Structures are given as C-alpha cells and as structure tokens.
Amino acid sequence: VVPTAGLACGHQQAPKDPTALSDFLRACTKLRAVLSDAGLAHLFGDEEALRELLRQHRSAEEELPGLRAKLAELEEQLEASRRQAEDLSGQLSQALEGGTSLEAQRQQLEAELAELRRAHEEKVAE
C-alpha cells in the first residue's frame, strides 16, 4: 500500500515519522478515492457528484504541498538527529578511550607509589 500511495502522490518513498506517514497516507488515499469516484461519477453522468469529487480532488491536491513540506522538514530533522547521534558516539568513544588511558595511568602511579613505599620502608629498616 505504501509504495503505491507514495507513487500516486509523487514520492519515491513514504515518510518515516508515524504522524507524517499517517497524514501522508490519508491524503494519498483521499486523492486516489476521489479520482476513482470521479471516474465512476463520469460514467454514470452524475454531474453534481462529479463537481463535488473535483472539489475534493482540488482540496486533496492543496493538502499535498503542505504535507510534502512537513515531510521534508521531518527528513531534515531526522538527518540532523542522525548527525548528532554520530557526534555523540564519537565523543563517547573518545571518553571511553580517555577513561582507559586514565585507568592505565592510575595503575602505573599506584605501582610507582608501592615501589616508593617499599624503598622507603627498606631505608627506614636499615
């Protein structure tokens, strides 16, 4: 359903945000239903129904640019969030590496301190 609705509305893929996806699919479904009903009304000669369907069609078409703009905005936000997550991941990796380095330094200093204490105790014992 999603690829068909997306192609009917001129998109290569459906939006990922659930709210935008819902709005997007609703507008696409409405547009497809109006086009389908317009064909039936034309076949049966119901001009009033055809006018109403054309009005609904125009209304659905008017909604699409706003939905497309909202979709583009959400895609930009998603990309910004992805970049931020990558940056945070890099910072976390650096912090972990720094923590590992600090732990190694701490262990080395403790070993040196233990050696100094031992040397001091030997001097005191002499």
Q: 3-state secondary structure string, the chain? A: CHHHHHHHCCCCCCCCCHHHHHHHHHHHHHHHHHHHHHHHHHHHCCHHHHHHHHHHHHHHHHHHHHHHHHHHHHHHHHHHHHHHHHHHHHHHHHHHHHHHHHHHHHHHHHHHHHHHHHHHHHHHHC
pLDDT of 35: 63
Residue 43 has pLDDT above 60, yes or no: no
Report residue 110 as tokens: 């403790």
48 or 119, greater pLDDT: 119
Which of these, 122, 125, 10, 126, lies nearest to 71 by C-alpha position?
Answer: 10
pLDDT of 61: 86
pLDDT of 46: 67
Over range 88-100, report the average pLDDT: 88
- When divided into structural domains, the chain yields a total of 1
Domain boundaries, position 43:
2-125
Residue 103 has pLDDT above 80, yes or no: yes
pLDDT of 107: 92
Cα(67)–Cα(23) distance, rounded to whole angstroms?
Answer: 7
Does this model's pTM top 0.85? no
Over range 84-100, report the average pLDDT: 89
Residue 15 has pLDDT above 70, yes or no: no
25 near 7, Cβ under 8 Å? no
Which band of pLDDT confidence, cut at 50, 70 and 90, is reported for residue 13?
Answer: low
